[in-house]
Structure 1
Amino acid sequence: MEQHRAVIVGAGIGGLTAAVALHRNGWRVTVLERAADLAPVGAGIGLAPNAQRALDVIGLGDRVRDLAAWQGDGGMRAPGGRWLARTN
């Protein structure tokens, strides 16, 4: 039987999550990233509940939770500052 192959473009949270999920299901995966390295850059990532559930499905949810720091309420604002949506 021939092994499935996938090429993932981008090593961000979505690309790496897709790569892990495919690899755990027997796929041979290549991840392409144009950045020279994946060193921390001081940026944060906010994960919505559905993103966290997706990480749970592939067995990474608890590892991510162990590294997480709760930042309080959030939401999205229009460029002028008006709230579009709030979450808690």
Structure 2
Amino acid sequence: MGIYLKGLELYPALVRREGDFYQADFVDIPGCRAYGASAVEAEINAGEALHEHVATLGRYGRRLPVPSVVEQQDRDADRYVAYITAPLP
């Protein structure tokens, strides 16, 4: 069961520093990822990547999987879980 806020689905993305940039990988959506020069930019780009992924799935009559809840351990600036809002169907 995912996290819901006023009818919105939130998908967990693991944001981590990779050298000079940040990478965000969606836990429930293999291959859906984004990059940025900062953690904030990676989160913003992850939202855009998620929207594009939803659009692509929609063209094939498919939907996103149910989002999971990820337990956060040892959050720091170089590795943490961010919850990204999925577009409404």
**TM-score by structure 1 length?**
0.26
Richer in strand (by share)? 2
Q: Which has the higher contact order (CA 8 A, sep 6+)?
A: 2
Richer in helix (by share)? 1
Larger radius of gyration: 1
